[in-house]
């Protein structure tokens, strides 16, 4: 068989595999959608049966997509965090100073109770455990720091340990902001200063970065 023909066959097979995967992805997404709505309405006691019924999926096929109920909730929390991360990156993209950009991201995460209350409730129920226990988040955040160009401004010795403490502390700030109405933006910004110092920024640089104005939110579509 000629090389061109072999390439065509490979492409056709790959296309067929993708076509088979698309319905599975849609079904998985429907279960995650249903679980999110039920988690918001009923809390973590929601059953697998309720999630599959709401998604119009046979209960017997549930394990084709997820290992157990906690696996679904992790997917719900991961989706919430991805949405928050995507919107935060878009909102801070035009900040020229890398440390100010990092500080703005932390400060916006801390304002989740006002900006994304529904996402905040999902993260409050499940996302903290997900962020704290999965090592890929440490590696992902280390790459994000490198991408921001702030590594020269931070003293990142023992990087994984510092980042683990940072992620746990950021989760705590988000949880407090979601559950304590008395915690305001000023307190959140002071917490952001402490988190920057935890990552190795000087107190002066951290204070300067957290005093900068936050970029405006994108207009609602």
User: Residue 7 contacts by C-beta under 8 Å, 6 or more apart in sequence?
Assistant: none
CA dihedral sign of residues 178, 181, 185, 189: negative
How many other β-carbons are positioned within 10 Å of the β-carbon of residue 40? 16
Cα separation, 91 vs 205, whole angstroms: 22
The residue behind tokens 């950009």 is 101
Task: Kindly list the averaged pLDDT for each block of 10 residues, start to end, along the chain of length 221.
Answer: 54 49 78 82 77 82 82 82 84 90 92 83 63 60 72 66 81 86 92 91 94 82 47
- As a whole number of Å, the end-to-end CA separation of the chain is 53
Quote the pLDDT of residue 3.
57
Give the integer Cα–Cα distance in Å for 98 and 106: 13
Does the model's pTM come out above 0.75? no
- So where are the chain's domains? 1-66, 76-214
Q: Of 134, 20, 140, whose CA–CA distance to 75 is shortest?
A: 134
Residue 22: C-alpha distances to residues 13, 15, 29 (Å): 14, 11, 10
C-beta of residue 93 within 8 angstroms of C-beta of residue 143: no
Distance between CA atoms of residues 192 and 106, nearest Å = 6
| pLDDT score, position 14 | 45
Count of CB atoms situated within 10 Å of the CB of 31: 23
- CATH ID of 1-66, from 1.50.10.10, 3.30.360.10, 1.10.1270.20, 1.10.10.60: 1.10.10.60
């Amino acid at each position: 068989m000629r090389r061109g023909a072999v390439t065509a066959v490979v492409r056709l097979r790959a296309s067929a595999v993708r076509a088979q995967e698309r319905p599975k992805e849609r079904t998985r997404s429907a279960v995650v959608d249903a679980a999110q709505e039920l988690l918001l309405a009923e809390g973590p006691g929601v059953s697998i049966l309720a999630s599959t019924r709401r998604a119009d999926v046979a209960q017997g096929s549930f394990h084709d997509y997820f290992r157990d109920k906690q696996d679904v909730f992790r997917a719900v929390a991961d989706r919430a965090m991805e949405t928050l991360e995507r919107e935060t990156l878009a909102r801070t993209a035009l900040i020229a100073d890398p440390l100010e950009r990092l500080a703005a991201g932390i400060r916006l995460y801390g304002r989740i109770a006002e900006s994304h209350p529904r996402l905040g409730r999902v993260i409050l129920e499940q996302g903290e455990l997900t962020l704290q226990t999965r090592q890929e988040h440490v590696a992902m955040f280390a790459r994000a720091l490198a991408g921001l160009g702030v590594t020269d401004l931070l003293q990142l010795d023992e990087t994984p340990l510092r980042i683990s403490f940072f992620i746990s502390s950021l989760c705590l700030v988000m949880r407090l902001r979601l559950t304590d109405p008395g915690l305001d933006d000023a307190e959140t910004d002071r917490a952001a200063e402490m988190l920057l110092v935890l990552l190795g920024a000087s107190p002066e640089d951290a204070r300067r970065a957290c005093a900068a104005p936050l970029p405006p939110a994108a207009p609602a579509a």
